[in-house]
Structure 1
Amino acid sequence: MPDTARDHAQDFLALADDYNALKFGEFTLKSGRVSPYFFNMGEIASGAGMKRLAAAYAATLAEAGIDYDSLFGPAYKGIPLVATVATALADHGHDVAFTYNRKEAKTHGEGGTLVGAPLGTRVVIVDDVITAGTAVREAIATIRAAGAEIAGVLIALDRQERGSDGRSPLAALAEDEGIPTIAVATLADVIAYARVNGLGAEQIEAIEGYRARYGV
């Protein structure tokens, strides 16, 4: 039986490759680690690209099998993501309300930090990647303060590497907050994509070495 989740991951990585959002080489990360690959979803900045991206998110969420009734996009990258993912879900007959936040509270008009539909009772946070997890934890606090539960966190790429406490940021969220975490693709998918698409043996070895050194 085909693994449709992995098919979605490979389609997503092909999209990232098409838009140069997935790069191979040497990249110094905020943590100081030198990574043999880098992912910048901000490069996917066209209507066609966002349509494909949202479809990958929506398919991944549908297959996760979690119970939810609304979506939340943390400012700023989560805002276009949550809107387009909601649109992709609607294309499949699933009309889901979405909400996003402002970085600073609005003091006139409707005021506050939340924009869009009222939060549902079970909310999925939609974002790009998680590094330290600070922005997502802030979103969790905002949603809980509004009286809603977090049904899950959906991101594009899980780098599957250890943070300062020896856990990956996704694992830390799952363990500390009791929240399901879902990624469209993982580092293992990146390696599989690199092999299938003819990345040089030396570069693949560098990625494998990075995973052996920092992976979870």
Structure 2
Amino acid sequence: MDWKKKFIDFSFKKKALQFGSFKLKSGRTSPYFFNSGLLSTGTNIIEIGLFYARSIVDSKMKFDVLFGPAYKGIPITVTTSIALKNYYDLNIPYAFNRKEYKKHGEKGDLIGATIYKKRIIILDDVVTSGKAIHHSIKIIEEQGAEISAVFVLLDRKEKGERDLCTINHQKNKKKYEIISIITIEDLISYLLEDKKLKKHIPKLIKYREKYGI
């Protein structure tokens, strides 16, 4: 729990993790919210890269390329690639997608390393229902690549399209693992030990009972 606690401390300090009333993309009203877009300084993004790099190395996952979904996944992928090189001497290429298909110049909807027949790790900030990650899976599979796993900072572990699996092959589907720095359970455990923040626990538990898996 030590480095999970370090990440939660970091998130609160930078106000990326907040309590209140927040309307999510899913339409749900949540008592907490994580906004990685606020981690936008050089120091912050270096820290984020280190959290991902450590999680990837600890997983012993086999992979060839890092993939960052536009837009928040792009800086995450770049900083993780740098951290893997600087701290673990792993020179890993990265790629990310465009929101719009480019018809001139290099063309296409992908930028960076070629991912054809490569093993890919998807990096994103938060997974709620899993809907957004399905879009990344579709992009990667259309390029003939294989997905090793999905890494996120926070897994909210909510009901939805969480059965992440191959989209192109309906038979013998391969399920993809979601690996997170922290989960909602980690956050609740953290709050239990903090006298000032534990007041938020009842709302989190009520929300979790309604939408959690």
Answer whether TM exceeds 0.5 for this pair. yes
Distance 1:151 1:202 in 2: 39
Q: 1:71 to 1:201 in 2, by over 3 A?
A: closer
* Code of the aligned partner of 2:112: G
Q: Secondary structure, in 3 states, of the residue corresponding to 1:173?
A: coil
* CA shift in 2, pair 1:197/1:50, >3 Å: farther
Deviations 1:164-206 (A, max 9, x none): xxxxx44x21597511211111001111222233334432222
Q: Which runs of 5+ in 1 are unaligned?
A: 1-5, 164-168
Determine whether 1:145 maps to 2:142: yes
CA contact (8 A) 2:73 2:124 kept: yes
**Inter-partner Cα distance in structure 2 for 1:177 and 1:159:** 23
- Structure richer in helix, relative to its length: 1
1:205 aligns with 2:202: yes
In the alignment, is residue 81 of structure 1 matched against residue 76 of structure 2? yes
Which one-letter code corresponds to 1:116 in the other structure? G
In 2 relative to 1, CA 162–126 (structure 1 residues): closer, same or farther, beyond 3 Å? same
Among 185, 196, 201, the alignment partner of 2:182 is: 185
**Letter aligned with residue 76 of structure 1:** Y
Q: Pick closer, same or farther for the CA change 1:138–1:23 going to 2, 3 Å.
A: same
1:146–1:200 distance in 2 versus 1, CA, 3 Å: closer
Letter in 2 for 1:70: V
Aligned residue runs from structure 1 range 21-170, under 5 A: 21-91=16-86, 92-119=88-115, 121-163=118-160, 169-170=161-162
Q: CA deviation at 1:51?
A: 0.8
- 1:8–1:60 contact (8 Å) kept in structure 2: no
Total equivalences in the alignment: 205
Unaligned runs of 5+ in 2: 167-172
Q: TM-score, normalised by structure 2?
A: 0.88
Larger RCO of the pair (alpha carbons < 8 Å, separation 6+): 1
TM-score, length of structure 1 as denominator length: 0.87
Q: Is the 8 A contact 2:128 2:155 kept in 1?
A: no
Contact 1:130 1:158 in 2 (8 A): yes
1:173 aligns with 2:168: no
Kept after mapping to 2: 8 A contact 1:54/1:84: yes
Whether the 8 Å CA contact 1:8–1:59 is kept in 2: the answer is no
